[in-house]
Amino acid sequence: MDKQKLIAFENKIADLFNKAKIRAPIHLYSNNEDQMIKIFKKIKKNDWVFCSWRSHYQCLLKGVSEKILTKEIIAGKSISLCFPKHKIYSSAIVGGVLPIATGLAFSNKIQKIKSKVFCFVGEMTAETGIMHECLKFSKNNNLPIHFIVEDNSKSVCTDTRKAWSMKKLSFEGKKDKFITYYKYSLKYPHAGAGRRVQF
């Protein structure tokens, strides 16, 4: 799965949405393909990937076929895509995956299971209390987990830095054993694909 294929996939889903073929919310990625491909070079088949409502790229890069993914999205499941066979779990609740991902990493460590956990969160989610608790617990127990903070600068339509009165976010620029932070810009709105669709 290369950059052009990722972009083409999101464009295809945008088109289906704007033609009212998807009767449920979609959240598309854009302009972060290079960062995603780089991150996924470190993610092995046996590792778990946790995502938010925005997860098409993770699914494709973890090996879910375009055909199956498209079918699930058309069935209205874009917002919470889960593929246990591919070790992909998503939730549309802000912060919802964080304690589950942390708990799984804890369990893997205790049971000596060779599987790392990768947990993707938006920059607003990364400012919530649950992120700080999960990171603290993960660091203090040296858990096999890595958090990826994806900064598109917005929490839905609100400027995240303005919302918190912060010039620099908590994990901005971070790169260590537990965190990767990257910045990207969305060409699509927070949800949908730019055209108001009335069902």
Ligand X SMILES: Cc1ncc(C[n+]2csc(CCOP(=O)(O)OP(=O)(O)O)c2C)c(N)n1
Which residues of this chain interact with ligand X, rule CB under 6 A? 52, 54, 92-94, 122-125, 152, 154-156, 160, 190
Task: Output the smallest distance, CB 155 to ligand X, in A.
Answer: 4
Asked if 25 contacts 78 with a C-beta cutoff of 8 angstroms, the reply is yes
By beta-carbon proximity to ligand X, the closer residue of 1 and 131 is: 131
Asked if 154 contacts 160 with a C-beta cutoff of 8 angstroms, the reply is yes
Task: Output the smallest distance, CB 160 to ligand X, in A.
Answer: 6
By beta-carbon proximity to ligand X, the closer residue of 1 and 51 is: 51
Helix (H, G, I), strand (E, B) or coil at 117: strand
Q: Is 194 left (phi over 0), alpha (psi -120 to 50) or beta?
A: left
Residue nearest to ligand X (CB): 122
By beta-carbon proximity to ligand X, the closer residue of 33 and 144 is: 33
By beta-carbon proximity to ligand X, the closer residue of 91 and 108 is: 91
The letter for the amino acid at 118 is F
Q: Which residue spans within the chain are E strands per DSSP? A: 48-51, 88-90, 117-122, 145-151, 154-155, 158-159, 179-183
By beta-carbon proximity to ligand X, the closer residue of 91 and 138 is: 91
Task: Output the smallest distance, CB 190 to ligand X, in A.
Answer: 6
Task: Output the smallest distance, CB 45 to ligand X, in A.
Answer: 25
Rounded distance between C-alpha atoms, residue 26 and residue 86, angstroms: 21
Task: Output the smallest distance, CB 27 to ligand X, in A.
Answer: 6
Helix (H, G, I), strand (E, B) or coil at 113: coil
